[in-house]
A and B are shown apart, each in its own frame.
Chain A
Amino acid sequence: GAVVSQHPSRVICKSGTSVKIECRSLDFQATTMFWYRQFPKQSLMLMATSNEGSKATYEQGVEKDKFLINHASLTLSTLTVTSAHPEDSSFYICSARDAGTTGNTIYFGEGSWLTVV
């Protein structure tokens, strides 16, 4: 089946630094990818929609200058958390839709744990 890979799965960074998380669709092309954030015991909250070759669309309340999204190719989107602070510590999950189909199936990555110390 279709696979979405995230890297790194876990990362610890110091407060004030930036960290990049990659989301790759391994066996399909994705014109659109989505980035979610999930706090412990809570639901997934959509942060932004990443569009290949154009600017990302951010949800209300999400700082676009803090959470930089780049969708450089049909198989790769990156989320960069800039000037990270402890409150940015969370589980970040990406998802992608197979552009080659007309179906509704959206595949999720395994998530990336970010801890800011």
Chain B
Amino acid sequence: QQQVKQSPQSLIVQKGGIPIINCAYENTAFDYFPWYQQFPGKGPALLIAIRPDVSEKKEGRFTISFNKSAKQFSLHIMDSQPGDSATYFCAAKSGGYQKVTFGTGTKLQVIP
């Protein structure tokens, strides 16, 4: 059972655009929601994370929006650049368990 659903599967935007990646979860025990960026042939790197007690978090050009009642969260990338082209994974973790449940991933391509 896929506990974290992610969409879209792929996304193409022009430089300067604002790609938005959406995720939804089912398990209400999740209390930590990180986003990871993965380049081909590399391990995932933590990009930004949020806890459900806040509705938005910004770090540089990356923003997470969180809707606890809808059990949804999304990643916005402001002023996207070709260097942002990568696969993005949303994830979720509950406090009592250290294992991370990943979404299915979104391949982002930012064209010049």
Say whether B100 contacts A43, CB under 8 Å.
Answer: no
B93, CB-defined interface residue at 8 Å: yes
Binding site for B on A (CB under 8 A): 4, 6, 32, 34, 41-44, 46, 49, 91, 93, 95, 97, 104-111, 113
By a CB distance below 8 angstroms, the chain B residues around A6 are 43
B61, CB-defined interface residue at 8 Å: no
Say whether B100 contacts A106, CB under 8 Å.
Answer: yes
Say whether B100 contacts A95, CB under 8 Å.
Answer: yes
Residue of A nearest to B95 (CB): A104
Contact with A along B11-53 (1 / 0, CB 8 A): 0000000000000000000001010100001111110010000
Say whether B41 contacts A49, CB under 8 Å.
Answer: no
The answer, among A43, A105, A107, A113, for a CB contact under 8 Å with B41, is A113
By a CB distance below 8 angstroms, the chain A residues around B103 are 43
Say whether A106 contacts B105, CB under 8 Å.
Answer: no
Contact A109:B43 (CB < 8 A) given known A43-B104, A43-B105: yes
- 9 smallest CB-CB distances across A and B, nearest first, come from A108-B43, A111-B43, A104-B32, A110-B43, A43-B102, A44-B102, A43-B104, A43-B105, A108-B44
Binding site for A on B (CB under 8 A): 32, 34, 36, 41-46, 49, 89, 93, 95, 98-105, 107
Residue of A nearest to B10 (CB): A41
Q: How far is the CA of A32 from the CA of B97 in the complex (A)?
A: 11
CB distance from A110 to the nearest CB of B (A): 5
Residue of B nearest to A91 (CB): B41
CB distance from B101 to the nearest CB of A (A): 8
Given contacts A4-B43, A110-B43, 17 further A-B contacts (CB under 8 A): A6-B43, A34-B98, A34-B100, A41-B107, A42-B104, A42-B105, A43-B102, A46-B101, A49-B98, A93-B43, A104-B95, A105-B46, A105-B49, A106-B100, A109-B43, A111-B41, A111-B43
By a CB distance below 8 angstroms, the chain A residues around B99 are 34, 46, 49
CB distance from A27 to the nearest CB of B (A): 16
CB distance from A57 to the nearest CB of B (A): 9
By a CB distance below 8 angstroms, the chain B residues around A41 are 105, 107
